[in-house]
A and B are shown apart, each in its own frame.
Chain A
Amino acid sequence: MAELTTKWKKGALCPVCGGMGFHHVPLGRADTWYRELEKQPQWKRYRGLPENAGVAFSEPRLEWDQPVFDFAPVATQHVRCSVCASLVPPQFLGDAKSRVLLITTGMPQAGKTTWLKCLFNPAQKRHLIAEPTTLIKRDPYYYIEPYTIANPDPRTAIPILLHGMGLTFQRREIGIAGIDIKGEVFHQRTTTPDKYLRVLDILKNLRAMKFAELFVMFVVPFDATLTRQNIGQLGAQLMNEPGARGAWQGVIWTHLDQAQLRSEADLLAFLASSETASALARRVLDGEEPFDSKFVAAASDIERLVQKKRLWAKDLELLESLTWLLYRIMLSYSALPPRFGIGNVEFFYSFQDGLGEKLVGRCMALASALFAAWDGAGRGDFASMIRESMTPGTDMRFPVLPCGLEFLSAGSDGEDGLPVWGDLLLLEILRRHG
């Protein structure tokens, strides 16, 4: 098999330092990486880390290979920036016309890493909805310095991780160049100002890069108490200018599985003005199939009722019941493709003229309305984003990708669990990019 090599074009930028020089590096022993790093102080400096601080990564036995810092005598797949010595995934260097930049950020325990891992490698996981499919080919870049996609990250001081994934769907090839920003950077901005400022620089570099689409995803966990700090309270500077061309920012709303049905009666009373919406709620409450010919109308009615109501802060229990209802519908969706004997992607795109897409679209619209209600009942951290998305011309009223973080079997290393509907962003990327 031919050795993969990475090429870069004139004008390629390093997302970390904005450098324009690159060189190939070979693979070497992972267990000496941290020693070599000592000779590359710029690697830490461009991440806002103190020069003498150690950089930990998976311990204690490192029996895999890792791209090293030496120059490779021949072209390889692995490329480092000549300025900051960062390992730059090939997707950052590929053709700008098929490159999607994906920025994810969220507070600790928001479910960001779990969601990303699901995006990279669902084949290794027991996934509730999107089983491995041959229709979408994923080719993740294996190294997420200083980790690999096969190794979960122990928490470290490193504020950003670069990752890349190639997607092939039918004849389209898309390179997803991703940057994962640790939420602590914003939370601890006064104690670790260097990291905070570096991350701002990196965001500036990213926006200077050419790309087909820019996705900025804020990972926000569901919090019925409204006491948990979220990234929206910290990261206003992350948000794009309203109407920025090619930019798409949204929320990955995680932990929806924690929403509970607080009052059946209150839920039904709230939906009583719409017969179809009440019927849908009743079916879900009775454990029956929620989807029928009136599902789209029913979901639209619920969405309308949620948007119509004001002062949600006084009715948080009802709002939680509605969120529970949404999550139940999402779970029921997961059973549909197998019932028709087809894969998740086929069901989403092609079955009955894209039935899956319509159902998912309705659920996402409902999720957006509910998220906006929670946001309005709380501090309104995402209000600016919501307003922006309501401006004429935007195709989604408020982009919210709902997902649970339902751990199928709790593993000690967090590898076993998966976010329900983790693939939705993937499908959204393909849909928009197509």
Chain B
Amino acid sequence: MAEFHELHGDYVANTGQTINLREYLDYFEPLGSALSRLPDGSGGPFVHQFTDSGGRTIGSIGWVVSAASKRFGAWTLWGMWTDRPVPAVTLPLFWSALADPSQTPDLVERANAGAERLFDKKRWPDLLKGAKTFRLKDELREPLAAQLEHAWSVPPPHRHSIEVELSPQMLDVLPWLYLLGPVDPAAAQLQPNRFNGAGYQYIFNDQPAPARGGASDAVGELVEAAATDPASAWRIAHQLRTQRGGRPKRPERPSSRTPRVEINDMSREPSPRKPPMLNDLALVGKVLYPVLVLVLLTWIAWNVNTIRKQTAVPSDEPAPTTTTVSPTPAPSTAPDEPSADPRLVRIGTALAARPPRNVRISDAALAEAAKGDANTLARVAIEIFLRRNNCFPRTEVVDGRLSTAEERAIRTCAALQDERLVKNGQPDQPRAITWLEGILGR
């Protein structure tokens, strides 16, 4: 019996969303929801797996796009499904044909013809080596490095999806990220929507990905290896994952019916016995572990004691106010980091030096603004505008984030609409910043 089957879903007028796996529509419906606001045809790949209440596991891979012309929120998808998790190597192997719905029957045929090899993880390196169409283009190196840097910076455990922002033109980065990212591809999901579980959620963004500093050595090595030999890059990624968290973790088992997840250890040659060196290392680890835990506990106890002593001393000084500061990335010393727009930095600095009268701005927002962060500046501008025009209480602190109440005020503030500082409910960045610049210059 064939392992892989065609998967098709579409929006049918006056009927609603449909899929040929009819009884599983509920599992697939969220896949396309994130594409609601995108034009018709916008979308990307998905690698999706779930276990139904009867314990049956369905793995699927394909492409999902917005069908907004049919109805807001509608989607179309195509691909293939199987009765177990999709093998990790499937996405890179079939990447070139995945986006074309007319190739789906051929795709399924090819997958079924090679199903035995696909489900044998020992053969994955050879399969990947043989995939002539899966090569890293030069223009993708930099964006891939940036995305990998971001993904690898997310600390384990990866219980929730890692968000990845990219432009629709950069979709080719995704199979590489899937392969070389911090989540083992055997367990990873890839979707445009939010989901619970390990994997990557991609979010379309027309603006170039924000600079995140230079690529680390490890990521640089990964990208270099990917350009020459994807299989070796995968192996390096696997080693990194192993170093990071020991053996790659399986997703949490919600019930005894959780599907078996195939973990690819990508070892060069599967060996039945551990080499003696590794055995020694394991022994040393066993001895060292309790010692390290004991030292750590002692250190924590000592710190707690010190803090208690400090807080017990009465002080005449007023109690320190707690300010929530959003975590800011450590300053990068990488030489190729693009510098912020000097104009924005100037505006941010001016804002910190001469904030508008009778408006309180949080330190965190000022710090972000001083770096020339355009998003923060635009939001701060809108928040200040609302307060200056009595559309929002002046006593509320400007924090560079639009709260629900502020969003409501944005919708009802006539002065804001007249100034056209918002577009579709969101700050019109250039206009908002220009307005802010204007009031600071006065």
Contact = CB atoms under 8 A, between A and B. Distances in A.
A107 interface: yes
A109 B14 contact: yes
B404 A52 contact: no
B30 interface: yes
Interface of B: 11, 13-17, 22-23, 25-27, 29-34, 36-37, 39, 50-53, 68, 71-74, 160, 163, 192-196, 201, 203-204, 254, 401-404, 407-408, 411-412, 425
Given A108-B15, A109-B13, A50 B33 contact: no
Interface string A159-192: 0000000000000000000000001100110011
B401 A63 contact: yes
B16 A412 contact: no
For the residues of B in contact with A, the DSSP-based class is: mixed
B29 A150 contact: no
Interface of A: 27, 31, 34-35, 38, 49-61, 63-65, 107-109, 123-124, 142, 148, 150, 152-157, 183-184, 187-188, 191-192, 228-229, 412-414
Nearest to A155: B73
B34 A60 contact: yes
B87 to A, nearest CB: 21
16 contacts: A34-B194, A50-B52, A50-B53, A56-B34, A56-B194, A60-B163, A60-B192, A60-B201, A63-B401, A107-B14, A108-B16, A109-B13, A142-B404, A191-B25, A229-B14, A414-B72
B307 to A, nearest CB: 25
A329 B163 CA distance: 53
Given A53-B26, A54-B27, A412-B72, A150 B36 contact: no
B404 A156 contact: no
Contacts of B193: 54, 56, 59-60
Contacts, number: 134
B407 A150 contact: yes
Contact of A184 (B16, B203, B401, B404): B16
B411 to A, nearest CB: 6
A152 B52 contact: no
Chain A CB within 10 A, most for which of B32, B36, B68, B254: B36
B14 A55 contact: no
A10 B102 CA distance: 61
Contacts of A35: 160, 196
Nearest to B38: A412
Contact of A157 (B25, B192, B408): B25
B195 A54 contact: yes
Contacts of A228: 14
Contacts of A34: 194-196
B298 to A, nearest CB: 34
A49 B16 contact: no
A65 B403 contact: yes
A192 B194 contact: no
A35 B404 CA distance: 20
A152 B72 contact: yes
Given A51-B53, A191-B23, 6 more contacts: A49-B26, A52-B52, A57-B33, A60-B194, A155-B17, A413-B72
A155 B33 contact: yes
A157 B14 contact: no
A107 B201 CA distance: 32
B180 to A, nearest CB: 23
B50 A52 contact: yes
Contacts of B26: 49-50, 53, 157, 192
Contacts of B402: 63
A54 B16 contact: no
Chain A CB within 10 A, most for which of B14, B23, B50, B52: B14
A26 B403 CA distance: 14
Contacts of A184: 15-17
Nearest to A195: B26
Nearest to A221: B14
Contacts of A51: 53, 254
A150 B72 CA distance: 15
A222 to B, nearest CB: 13
Contacts of B425: 150
A21 B194 CA distance: 31
Nearest to B71: A109
Contacts of B73: 152-155
A187 B16 CA distance: 9
B65 to A, nearest CB: 14
Contacts of A157: 25-26, 29-30
Contacts of A229: 14-15
Contact of A191 (B22, B36, B404): B22
Contacts of B194: 31, 34, 54, 56, 59-60
